[in-house]
A and B are shown apart, each in its own frame.
Chain A
């Protein structure tokens, strides 16, 4: 399952050989640990913004070495581009060229984060042009980053600012190893909702989280990650997966709830378990999903219907139950897929279900917000799991090496980290969005 190629080209004799032959060398990604630094070096802030000073103060309070001017030759761990006040594409030049000059100083695993505003239909044409242009520039920059460094952006919608809770939450997420496999992506801060945790080491402390499909793969990793972040986890899976489910539950100190998410009463049983056994329900991760791949010409009703039933219909039904209960501050994070964005041969059914998740999340945002909650989704790209290990080697290697900017498949923990962030109170202002965790794969770009 592990990517042997990545190991070979990054160690010892084979590393030298790979260099000599000019083989693609996927970098080792900087991943999160409770005690790892937020950034691997100082952060340089380029550009101006009304609240730039406040932002600098916050970053200093996070223990970062914040530079407002490029000071000579020192290495950089991060770069923040304040682009939210630009009003014409001609204004981009100075900042982008300054960024270009700073790129050489970035250490492996560095982060570039842009801050901009959304391009809207009623903007002045020049304003919309520069804002949309930033989107293109940052996505291109993502493809130019090396050594596991990434480039992502924060978009400030409405009256939000860079010091809005979810803007700071998104900034920390992009800075930290939690976003190791997130590249070339934007998060839009829509409201002032949300709050940063008291303790960044335990952002989910005191929360009760339910993870469906938690027995193995990405679901098990989500359970581990949420527990590490301080949540009490309820692990849900089919009775057939009960033994694997119990193992994960006993690792993370959670409780098991064996049920089929397509059952009519699944939502009620999940809510009942969380409330009676743990006192609240704060986060639901709709991770349970199946694939029944077949070219559409050969598709049968059983394959199509089961995928829709598990991957999207069950979520819609459970969400109705949660909404009716008006659980205060409930956060829901769903699993979408880049297949639902870009399409994938043999996956019309799966892509319909995963595209469905993206639509559901967007359309449910206001409903969850009524009780102070939110709903978001994560769309994983190529993730190294038991499921993807079954893909033929050639296809797998292409999926890992050629397509994503980061030249490798992601790990289940990369998806789990994004879910942990989106499920936290710091992400409340990001309600309704789908975040891709795909290493900036070409697929669905």
Chain B
């Protein structure tokens, strides 16, 4: 793999509830995210996924350990804005991350914050809207968009800042199936065509099958990591971590247990169809 774009070194973070009890959200977590990679983060609720995401663009600072983004240390105040430009964060609720009253103005928001010259803003906004397929809706009010369109707008808003890495914190959790497909296709396209590093946090196992690498978090530590084929080979006890197998690997495993010699690494319907027929 390529050089790491983000690196966490023995990162720990505590949440304090009621100012007394400290809850360890991240525990000595060391992780390298490579340039151009499509990384999926999964794990049960409270495993520290979102906390980790917020460390990747200096929204949260480590209680112990270090986070480097493109060689910049997040703990340093002077690096903060450059890091936030390089690592774009997209959140779960599409409504709550749209600031402006038109689609176009919202995409421009980040660029305006960076103090970029107006002609360049116009150009980059057009580019970003084109990429996510919202160009025809540039003048629309955001509340008239569908969930999937809103989330793609949020992605465009981040994309216009030309980030090197896109961190998406459960971007499809509040969408209907159609919106989910739109958003996933957009993420995949950005990773494959535009070579944007993607860190995708999700609850839906089937969304992870396209990833280069999956990391399973549990109680603030990395429980295991590997390619989708490795994670869903059936050797890992996902149920103990409170997660389900995606349907096709689950079926392949059931067939294997039933005595059929289904090979390892079957993740998609067509692969299974090809083997069986």
A-B interaction: no
